[in-house]
Amino acid sequence: MSLITVKGLAVGYDGQAIEKDIHFTVNKGDYLCILGENGSGKTTLMKTLLHLQKPIAGEILLQDGLRSDEIGYLPQQTVIQKDFPASVREIVRSGFLGRNGLRPFYSKEENALAEQNMERMGIKELARRSYRELSGGQQQRVLLARALCATQKLLVLDEPVTGLDPKATMEMYELIKQLNQEGVAIIMITHDVNVAVQYSSHVLHVGTPSFFGTRESYLNSDLGKLFLLQRSKKMTADAEEGEAHD
């Protein structure tokens, strides 16, 4: 049962392709990690998946009754949001608005579902708190709860742990894993290959050469091995540099 099939997709701006010939499929219950160097077009690919910009070539097929507005989305935080006066409940409920049409108020079912999603994300006691006073990890949970109000089928996450401390990062990954086990398909953009090989079921590596397949086959591919090696070298170098600064 596939939700999304992408065939020969090219993404980019102003008619200029950044990344060409992207192929992949996401099935119900999958956990796809999109890997790639900075500037390889990961975020552009995501925006195209979300219909925020038009594909340059190729097609994105939505199947199994998935509508284009049923793709939940956890964006990177914007500057505007940092000091936005809004309560947690207000933000979570706004996830419903895409399907409300012209109805000006929330229905009883929607309010109940919003409470349920806040409980799922462990932020129920924060419902009346102001978003700008929360920690980074709590803010991400709020945005996840909002995405769950928009859909229960497929979530697209753009670098969900940027700026979080190690503990909050771990909690965030566990939370996403739990959602995936509850049946929500996940597409996550990350530059952390270790996370990808630990949590994902499938890996899409954008860039040249590119790769799409299961996690196991990625680990055994030359590209996967090379990328893992590079990353672990870079991490050791970073760690040493950090120690030198201390």
Partner 1 sequence: MIDKLITYFQMPLVQRALIVGVLIALCSSLLGVTLVLKRFSFIGDGLSHVAFGAMTIAAVLNLSNDMLLILPITVLSAILLLHTGQNTKIKGDAAIAMISVGALAFGYLIMNLYSTSSNLSGDVCSTLFGSTSILTLTNEEVWLCIGLSVVVVLIFILFYHKIFAVTFDENFAKATGMKVEAYQLLIATVIAVIIVLAMNLVGSLLISALVIFPALSAMRMFGDFKSVTICSAVISVCCAFLGIVISVLEGTPVGSTIVAVDVGAFLVAYAVGMIRGGSRR
SS3 116: helix
CA distances from 103 to 13, 85, 95, 98 (A): 35, 24, 14, 11
Find the shortest distance in angstroms from Cβ 53 to partner 1: 10
If one asks whether residue 71 binds partner 1 (CB under 8 A), the answer comes out as: yes
Q: Is 72 in the site for partner 1 (CB under 8 A)?
A: yes
Find the shortest distance in angstroms from Cβ 52 to partner 1: 6
- Count of residues interacting with partner 1 (CB under 8 A): 41
Under rule CB under 8 A, residue 233 binds partner 1: no
Angle between helices 136-150 and 108-120 (to 10 degrees): 140
Footprint of partner 1 on residues 146-165 (CB under 8 A)? 146-147, 150-151
Taking CA atoms, 153 is separated from 27, 51, 218, 238, in Å, by 10, 17, 25, 38
CA distance 197 to 215: 6
SS3 154: strand
Question: Is 224 a binder of partner 1 (CB under 8 A)?
Answer: no
Cβ at position 133, least distance to partner 1 in Å: 7
Q: Which of 7, 21, 37, 51 binds partner 1 (CB under 8 A)?
A: 51
Tokens of 174: 């566990």
Amino acid present at 8: G
Smallest separation (angstroms) from partner 1 to the CB of 110:
11
> Does residue number 222 form part of the binding site for partner 1 (CB under 8 A)?
no
The least distance separating partner 1 from the CB of residue 43, rounded to whole angstroms, comes to 11
Cα(96)–Cα(151) distance, rounded to whole angstroms?
9
- With CB under 8 A as the contact rule, the residue among 68, 181, 198, 217 that binds partner 1 is 68
32: alpha, beta or left? (left if phi > 0; alpha if psi -120 to 50): beta
Kindly tell me which of 90 and 171 has the beta carbon lying closer to partner 1: 90
Helical spans, DSSP H, in the chain: 42-49, 79-82, 88-93, 108-120, 136-150, 166-181, 193-199, 215-220, 222-245
Give residues 78-137 in contact with partner 1 (rule: CB under 8 A): 78, 80-81, 83-87, 90-91, 93-95, 97-100, 104-106, 128-133
Toward partner 1, which CB reaches closer, 157 or 196? Answer: 157
CB of 45 to partner 1, least distance (A): 14
DSSP letter for each residue of 99-114: G-TT--S--HHHHHHH
Which x/- pattern over 28-47 shows residues binding partner 1 (rule: CB under 8 A)?
Answer: -------------------x
Helix (H/G/I), strand (E/B), else coil: 135 = coil
Q: What is the contact surface with partner 1 in residues (CB under 8 A)?
A: 47, 50-52, 67-69, 71-73, 75, 78, 80-81, 83-87, 90-91, 93-95, 97-100, 104-106, 128-133, 146-147, 150-151
